[in-house]
Amino acid sequence: MNLDDVRKLIEEQEVESIDLKYADLVGNWYHITFPVRRLDHVMKNGIPFDASSIPGMKSVEAGDMVLLPDPATAIIDPFTPTPTLRMLSYICDADTRLGVNKDPRTVASRAQNFMIESGIADTSLWVPEFEFYLFNEAVINNGKYSAGYRFTSDENKDDLPGGYLDADGTAVAHRKGYHIDIPFDKHAQVREEMVRLIEAVGCPIRYHHHEVGLSGQQEIETELLPFELITDKMMYVRDIIHNCALRNGLTATFMPKPLYDEPGNGMHFHIQLRKDDRNVFYEKGGYADLSDTALSFIGGILKHGRSLTAFTNPSTNSFKRLLPGFEAPVKLFFGIANRSAAIRIPKYVTSEESKRIEFRTSDGTCNYYLAMSALLMAGLDGIKNRILPDDDNAFGPFDDNVFDWTEEQQSRLTSIPTTLEEALEALQSDHDYLLEGGVFSRELIDSWIEEKMKEVIAVRNRPHPFEMNLYYSL
């Protein structure tokens, strides 16, 4: 969509306001709204704002930046009562009008350009899998003298909301929720509404279903889409899921591990590279019909896997999901249809057109722009340096359950970090591949580590409710 298309859409939909969205370093959305009559002025001059008020974005001494709208991202807002047009924007320097080093959308644009300039591929296609819980209630309390939370679901007989009696007996227990059918899948129609709105903003959906978690865990999966398109569409998808849940009296969370000893929420990324409309990951006769390009791409991700988790799993809660036994990979290797692997080669994708890899470690607390750019850069580094998985680096392929191996065999495998702090330390020591082509900057990495360490310290310094069970009476 170009500016003329935007003007036409404004006229057809009788739009009154334009809402500009932008993402901060960690992936939170912000917005500013202006009357539609100011469109031409804003397209030419942008909107100045104080970036020092946005965490991790800029110092107070030099805070002035401008938001420049991107007409290609324009949609009609599905949730505002007043006809409103949404656009995403770039965060640009007030003087040069170029995207700043720490603008996530600009980083993604630089990653895309770096890939093209490398000559390896001209397109990367991605499928994100959105896993999330829909709760009926989310009561959260954190203060000096009390702390705790309670999530409830009308689907789980052991987790019913206050005052809900389950008079029709459709809440269940003692089973998994994977693909559970109606009427026990109580929010199937809510997912239908989400999917309708998601497809309306130009993001085609492959399917949706109830996930394993019985207390309302859901999954929505897109079709293969180009990197530069899906990174923006994912922001709209997340927003639609949250707002649609609220409109239906529910609350959605992408937290990796909201419930103890229950399945966590991942965000698996399926990835494919193409050049001249040919899938460069496919080569008939290789392992899983993968080309050396694909294997090197895998090798790059696995080599840099520990530092990548600083972007793909950037919360203290992330590492409560990454535990053996929950189909959450904790070892850096790959294999066919292996759900304990960090990278899985889906067994059902057998044709040249569909052949791809699936990175399974990541979760929904990531900043989509930065996490996907980091994965792309790691894979391209693997191709550039021909980092082929083999016996020396123990990256696989392994097609059996590595947790059935002996301790000696498992010790050969590289483990992902066990905490966010450990992941940030890995990023500190392994980030040169991200700096290639100026895609990421040292300034961004330093700010990322600084902001994320604030979360580490905030969690570390607070008493945990379970500590009361362990130590209160000693």
Question: Does residue 161 belong to any structural domain of this protein?
Answer: yes
Question: Does residue 114 belong to any structural domain of this protein?
Answer: no
Q: Of 33, 67, 100, which residue constitutes the final position of a domain?
A: 100
pLDDT in tens, 84-140: 999 999 999 888 889 999 999 999 999 999 999 999 999 999 999 999 999 999 999
Q: What three-state secondary structure class fits 442? A: helix
> Do 292 and 206 lie in a common domain?
yes
The boundaries of the domain holding residue 19 are 3-100
pLDDT in tens, 387-439: 999 877 899 899 888 888 888 888 889 999 999 999 999 999 999 999 999 99
Q: What end-to-end distance do the CA atoms of the chain give, in Å?
A: 66
Under 8 Å between Cβ of 167 and 280: no
Alpha carbon separation from 141 to 149, 211, 223, 455 (Å, rounded): 6, 27, 38, 17
Alpha carbon separation from 69 to 97, 108, 294, 346, 440 (Å, rounded): 12, 16, 36, 38, 22
Token pair listed for 189:
């129609």
DSSP 290: B
Q: Which residue has the tokens 């203060």?
A: 143
Specify the CATH number for the domain of residue 263: 3.30.590.10
pLDDT in tens, 163-205: 999 999 999 999 999 999 999 999 999 999 999 999 999 999 9
Backbone angles phi, psi at 72, to 5 degrees: -65, -15
The residues, ordered by sequence, that sit 6+ positions from 286 with a Cβ below 8 Å of its Cβ are 292, 295
Token pair listed for 33:
């709204």
> Do 87 and 233 lie in a common domain?
no
Question: Does residue 402 belong to any structural domain of this protein?
Answer: yes
> Do 76 and 131 lie in a common domain?
no
Number of separate domains in the chain: 2
pLDDT band of 326, cuts 50, 70, 90: low
> Do 185 and 61 lie in a common domain?
no
Question: Does residue 117 belong to any structural domain of this protein?
Answer: no
Closest CA relative to residue 64, chosen from 88, 31, 93: 93
> Do 62 and 137 lie in a common domain?
no
Catalytic residues: 50, 129, 131, 211, 219, 268, 339, 358, 360
> Do 167 and 66 lie in a common domain?
no
What CA–CA distance (Å, rounded) separates 89 from 97?
12
> Do 179 and 77 lie in a common domain?
no
